[in-house]
Structure 1
Amino acid sequence: MRISILVSSAGRRVELIECFRRSAAALGIELDVLACDREPQLSAACQAADRAFAVPKCGDLGFVDAMLDIVRESGVQLVVPTIDPELAPLAAAAERFTALGARVHVSPPCVIEVVRDKLKTAQVMEEAGVPVPWTMPLEAAHASAYPIIWPMFLKPLGGSASRNIKVATCSADLPETPDEPMILQELLIGPEYTINMFLDRQGVLRNVVAHRRLRVRAGEVEKGQTERDPVFRRLAEGVARALPLARGVLCFQVIVDKRGGPCVFDINARFGGGYPLVHYAGAEYTRWLLEEVAGLPSTAHDDWRADALMLRYDAAIFRG
């Protein structure tokens, strides 16, 4: 059996590609790995792929059409997004990919609409009984609509990768005319975790793996260690309950606040940057996705190793 996958916005996701390759080999699948980026010649993951393609920015009108062209011409069966901004356009075009015989690993637009809006995320999670930090739009703070206990955390409404975040210690720290919509959140103090989860095609939560973010660089875990605690499983069940149409791989961030306990404050409906640690610990989401695409019996399980440690380092790919 031969399967072609397309990793979108591949960037530095060499480890993710290698996870797919190892899973395919274990299943006896011949895997063609395609990758795309704006500048594939400068993407390590594109260089590690079997073939690479240049595509427009995911915010450009031509992005989806360029992706569809690659799928059509190369017989791609699975498209794997890796960054938040491309989720909405790919989710909106999912049926166009399906018509070409390709599954896009993305939840429906109604799910993406929630997780890409941090204010809406907090509201939907709270309604489902998931603990979240107190959250308000920046405009409400300027209007003195609510009493504010400083310091607060300032972040973009639809931000990702720790972009434009800061701690605000008083109202003078707040921008008057921000370049994009912003929110304020209660400042949480405590250890931070990523909770990884896998939902099968029927929406059944099959696996939950938590890892503590020991060190973070540019918003991505650099050193991490898996931990098994029933509270993280319960939080994942709450997220699944709040987003009943979510499918595939998701991850969310939790801080165990020293005053209020664990709070969910960010959800990514895609593979997280720390997925290789999850894979190493025994939860092979890449294998389970390939099984679904290939029509093979699912081997998804929740038996994984706690205390698995990941220590990332820089590596290089040389060409020319």
Structure 2
Amino acid sequence: MGVALEIHACDLNPDLSAACALADASFAAPRCTDDGYIPLLRKYTRENGIGLIVPTIDTELQPLADARPDFSAQGTYVHVSSPQVIDIVRDKKRTMDVLAEAGVPVPRTARLEDFRRDPAGWDWPLFVKPVSGSASRGVELVQDIKALDREFDEPMLVQELLRGDEYTINLFVDEDGVMQAAIPHLRISIRAGEVEKGRTVRRDDFEAIARNLAAAMPGARGVLCFQVFDDPVLGPRVIEINARFGGGYPLADQAGGHFAENVLRQAMGEPLVNCADWRDGVTMLRYDNAVFV
């Protein structure tokens, strides 16, 4: 882009963070749920001339979305959707309800307490997962109702079992709320909820789902991603949305998505580049690496 850029990273313990070791500068920050998190970020960004903040975990989306106008007032663009969008995507049951109302295909879903009151008419086995989980945490396949006759540590959902291939669709929505591109990839191999091997796939039905999904999210902005199971009987079904860069985004970028570049351009007030001219069949094979300090 012909622009000098610096990457500043923060972590609870930056001395033991690979990302902080690779960044141009780093600093310690409290948990994003701490009352001091946003004030510290505002002070740091103001004193260091930071023009863009990019959240990377689900739990920091809400505080950053709420504080977005305050950062904007001091010249810092926060890459996050509206608080309304974050409210929706952090509650998987509400996500399913909002999408279903907009005509986006989703699996049958119920809160565990509602399912226990009326379990009739469900086909076993079923999925059970946290209402606000991420990275496949707490997801279980249960074979009968006895498996649900226990206490869980957090609110849970029951969802019909979906079969078939799983896909991630990365999409970019501009500041006017218009989806500029959607890039699906097949999740060939998964580890700890992240795609380990993937391949871009061009499908018109996925793009149509992505457009409907983006339109259903009031104030969706920037890069988002969502997961789809292509069930051989039911067809594609959306199971969750991440209102941030997903772990598999580098595959979309390598395929020609230019989403990250457009986030930078939005922060700098520059015109966006075309991000819809991407390559089908690009494969990503990941491996572990080490950072030495």
Q: TM-score range by the shorter chain?
A: over 0.9
| Equivalent in the alignment of 1:105 | 79
Distance 1:175 1:28, change over 3 A: farther
| Equivalent in the alignment of 2:54 | 80
Residue 253 in structure 1 maps to residue 253 in structure 2: no
Structure 2, unaligned runs of 5 or more:
none
> Residue 49 of structure 1 is aligned with which of 12, 20, 23?
23
What displacement does 1:59 show? 1.8
CA contact (8 A) 1:195 1:236 kept: yes
| Equivalent in the alignment of 2:165 | 191
Question: SS state of the match for residue 31, structure 1?
Answer: coil
What displacement does 1:310 show? 0.3
Question: SS state of the match for residue 27, structure 2?
Answer: strand
Q: Which stretch of the first structure deviates more once superposed, 307-316 or 146-155?
A: 146-155
Q: CA RMSD in A?
A: 1.1
What displacement does 1:176 show? 2.9
| Equivalent in the alignment of 2:188 | 214
CA contact (8 A) 2:259 2:275 kept: no
Question: SS state of the match for residue 177, structure 1?
Answer: coil
Question: SS state of the match for residue 7, structure 2?
Answer: strand
Distance 2:161 2:119 in 1: 19
CA distances 1:161-205 after superposition (whole Å, capped 9, x unpaired): 111110111111115321111001111001000000001111111
> Residue 240 of structure 2 is aligned with which of 259, 266, 269?
266
CA contact (8 A) 1:140 1:146 kept: no
Give the 5 Å matches for 1:154-173: 154-173=128-147
Distance 2:286 2:32 in 1: 28
Give the 5 Å matches for 1:270-309: 270-309=244-283
What displacement does 1:267 show? 0.1
Distance 1:235 1:164 in 2: 27
Question: SS state of the match for residue 225, structure 1?
Answer: strand
Distance 1:160 1:148 in 2: 25
Residue 234 in structure 1 maps to residue 208 in structure 2: yes
TM-score, normalised relative to structure 2: 0.97
CA distances 1:50-80 after superposition (whole Å, capped 9, x unpaired): 0011111112222212221221221111100
What displacement does 1:89 show? 1.0
TM-score, normalised relative to structure 1: 0.89
CA distances 1:257-280 after superposition (whole Å, capped 9, x unpaired): 121000001000000001111110
| Equivalent in the alignment of 2:115 | 141
Distance 1:245 1:146, change over 3 A: farther
Distance 1:205 1:170 in 2: 41
Runs of 4+ with deviation above 2 angstroms = 144-148
Distance 2:280 2:32 in 1: 36
CA contact (8 A) 1:288 1:298 kept: yes
Residue 201 in structure 1 maps to residue 175 in structure 2: yes
| Equivalent in the alignment of 2:33 | 59
Distance 1:120 1:28, change over 3 A: same
| Equivalent in the alignment of 2:288 | 314
Distance 1:97 1:142, change over 3 A: same
Structure 1, unaligned runs of 5 or more:
1-26
Question: SS state of the match for residue 209, structure 1?
Answer: strand
Distance 1:252 1:97 in 2: 27
Aligned length: 293
CA contact (8 A) 2:122 2:160 kept: no
What displacement does 1:145 show? 5.5
Q: Which stretch of the first structure deviates more once superposed, 28-37 or 295-304?
A: 295-304
